[in-house]
Amino acid sequence: MTNYPKVADALRSQLADRSDARGVPAAAVAVVVGDEIIEHAVGVLSTATGVTATTDSVFQIGSITKVWTATLVMQLVDEGRVELDAPVRRYLPEFGLGDASAADAITVRQLLSHRAGFEGDIFTDTGRGDDAIPKYVELLADAAQIFAPGALFSYNNAGYVVLGRLVERVLDTTWEKALVERIAVPLGAQTVSPSPYEAILHRAAVGHVGPDEHGVQTPAPFWAMARSNEPAGSMLAMSAHDLALFARAHLRGGTAVGGSILTAESAMAMRSTEVRLPDLAGMGSAWGLGWEIDRDDDAPLYGHDGNTVGQSSFLRIAPEAGVAIVLLTNGGDGAGLLRDIVDPLLRELTGHGLPDAPAPSPDAGTGDVDAFLGVYANSTMEMEVARDDEGRVWLEQRPSPELQALGGEPSRDELVRFGDDALIMRERKDGMHLVLAFLEPADDGRSSFVHFGRAVARSH
């Protein structure tokens, strides 16, 4: 209880002002300190209706959903029903890819740690029925293999849909029912909403886009994305309090008020380093079996972020201090609010803040970038790194119509040098300076991949 008044006072005095400054219509925070959960919410859930945010309001948690899916998989590991290093096809014989040998080889562990190597940003809508996820997995039969299984880290939404289908198959149920019955109920969570049908029963936040030419944030044109992508984070919503219950269970080695959701061994495995990442923006330094790992030194910090259309979510856990912090937002500069609110709270409660965000040197140039120039592409995005007549280097991004429908927009941004094999955006965008790492030089010296969390192969 010693930290409770100070944290509560900080949230009451700062959250509203910082949310306004960052253009965030509503924000909810829940802080786990030992056995206590301190909560606060500010703002409006929709600028169209003016409904105020409360601590029991539900926000979409986006890709933080992946940790819930990973937890379900690790429950099956605990029960001896799934082996981490077994091929996925042992449990899903129908799982196929464009590269049949890769489909045969990919393991459950590689899917959990984003090392499967096939193209992962596939958002095909296969309908609203209980067969949405099985239909989606069938469509992966044509998915391209970008690199050999296990060779690299590349964030993979599709891989987590496959894991969700694995859960469905082993348990003979839907992913939604498994999530509620095997995690939400033991947690004692009251607002966990796998779909809009449950979210509508609560005070639900609406995402916001913009600002428009008048500086106004407007409600997003839709709330839920495709059910086919549920296990990866297309629509799961809950209150900050209930997400904090999930974090607290992981802090306690899988133990919740209503029973264990994991063994201590599996909870530890999920946050232990499986693969290290290049120095990137917003992706951590390593990845475990579901968790993003910001630090794995003597001050460990792990968590996950999530984004849907107009909503951003953040979760950070400091296990040595017994602290977890949830921040949920419905528009504006959520990443900036993370720095404003979560960083000082972590410093106060644990002695260590968030890792420094990558930023370009004020006098950064470009140096020799010949090996980086070219076009890199997958089915949803074409990225061209080019030099202009003045020697400046630019990244032009051209999203597919499918990605544009989910909020992706064409863009052109200047890049400068960031270490030996990387470039960074000169200007901050979407709350950060995007870093591009260039990997795997080919025989001609040119990079085979550009990596910004996803590895995208050179096309020409």
pLDDT in tens, 35-86: 999 999 999 999 999 999 999 999 999 999 999 999 999 999 999 999 999 9
**Percentage of the chain surpassing pLDDT 90?**
89
- pLDDT at position 301 over 80: yes
Distances from the Cα of 257 to the Cα of 32, 94, 226, 415, angstroms: 14, 38, 32, 49
| Confidence bin at 1 (pLDDT 50/70/90) | very low
DSSP string, 221-283: S-S---GGGGGGTSS-EE-HHHHHHHHHHHHTTSEETTEESS-HHHHHHHTS-SEE--S-SSS
Does residue 226 contact residue 158 with C-beta atoms inside 8 Å? no
Ranges of H-type helices in 124-212: 132-139, 157-171, 175-179, 185-187, 196-199
Q: What is the pLDDT of residue 4?
A: 73
* CATH code for the domain in which residue 155 is found: 3.40.710.10
Tokens of 325: 């912090």
- Which residue among 357, 387, 412 closes a domain? 357
Element (H, E) at 323: strand 323-329
pLDDT digits (tens, 9 = 90+) for 358-390: 999 999 999 899 999 999 999 889 999 999 999
Pairing of strands 259-260, 275-276: unpaired
Q: Do 214 and 72 belong together in one domain?
A: yes
Q: Do 162 and 310 belong together in one domain?
A: yes
| Domain-located, residue 1 | yes
Enzyme catalytic residues: 63
Specify the pTM: 0.95
| Domain-located, residue 364 | no
Tokens of 432: 């950060």
Distances from the Cα of 445 to the Cα of 151, 371, 455, angstroms: 19, 6, 18
| Domain-located, residue 415 | yes
| Domain-located, residue 368 | no
Neighbours of 401 (CB within 10 A): 8
Q: Nearest Cα to 113, choosing from 132, 85, 90, 141? A: 85
Q: Do 120 and 49 belong together in one domain?
A: yes
Q: Do 349 and 378 belong together in one domain?
A: no
Residue whose entry in the numeric block shows the structure tokens 């410093």: 347
Domain that holds residue 97: 1-357
pLDDT digits (tens, 9 = 90+) for 246-282: 999 999 999 998 889 999 999 999 999 999 998 888 8
* CATH code for the domain in which residue 437 is found: 2.40.128.50
Distance, C-alpha 112 to centroid of its chain: 13
Q: What is the pLDDT of residue 282?
A: 84
Q: Do 305 and 280 belong together in one domain?
A: yes
Does residue 24 contact residue 266 with C-beta atoms inside 8 Å? no
In residues, how long is the chain? 460
Instruction: Give me the number of domains the chain comprises.
Output: 2
| Confidence bin at 210 (pLDDT 50/70/90) | confident
Q: What is the pLDDT of residue 143?
A: 95
Q: Do 126 and 244 belong together in one domain?
A: yes
| Confidence bin at 13 (pLDDT 50/70/90) | very high
Ranges of H-type helices in 279-331: none
| Confidence bin at 214 (pLDDT 50/70/90) | confident
Pairing of strands 36-43, 59-60: unpaired
Q: Do 197 and 228 belong together in one domain?
A: yes
Q: What share of the chain is helix, strand, coil (3-state, %, to 5)?
A: 30, 25, 45
Q: What is the pLDDT of residue 269?
A: 98
Does residue 212 contact residue 283 with C-beta atoms inside 8 Å? no
Element (H, E) at 299: none
| Domain-located, residue 366 | no
**Which has the higher per-residue pLDDT, 34 or 133?**
133
Q: Do 237 and 146 belong together in one domain?
A: yes
| Domain-located, residue 282 | yes
| Domain-located, residue 362 | no
Does residue 247 contact residue 32 with C-beta atoms inside 8 Å? yes
Cis peptide before 362 (omega within 30 of 0): no
**Mean of all residue pLDDT scores within the chain:** 95
- pLDDT at position 187 over 70: yes
| Domain-located, residue 148 | yes
Q: Do 279 and 138 belong together in one domain?
A: yes
Amino acid at 118: F
Tokens of 42: 């500010």
- pLDDT at position 87 over 90: yes
Average pLDDT for residues 380-406, to the nearest whole number? 92
DSSP state for residue 321 in the 8-state scheme: G
Q: For 158-162, 227-231, 361-365, which range has the lowest pLDDT when averaged over its residues? A: 361-365
Q: Do 321 and 380 belong together in one domain?
A: no
Average pLDDT for residues 395-423, to the nearest whole number? 90
Q: Do 385 and 300 belong together in one domain?
A: no
Q: Do 296 and 384 belong together in one domain?
A: no
Distances from the Cα of 133 to the Cα of 116, 160, 351, angstroms: 19, 11, 43
φ, ψ dihedrals at 358, nearest 5°: -60, 140
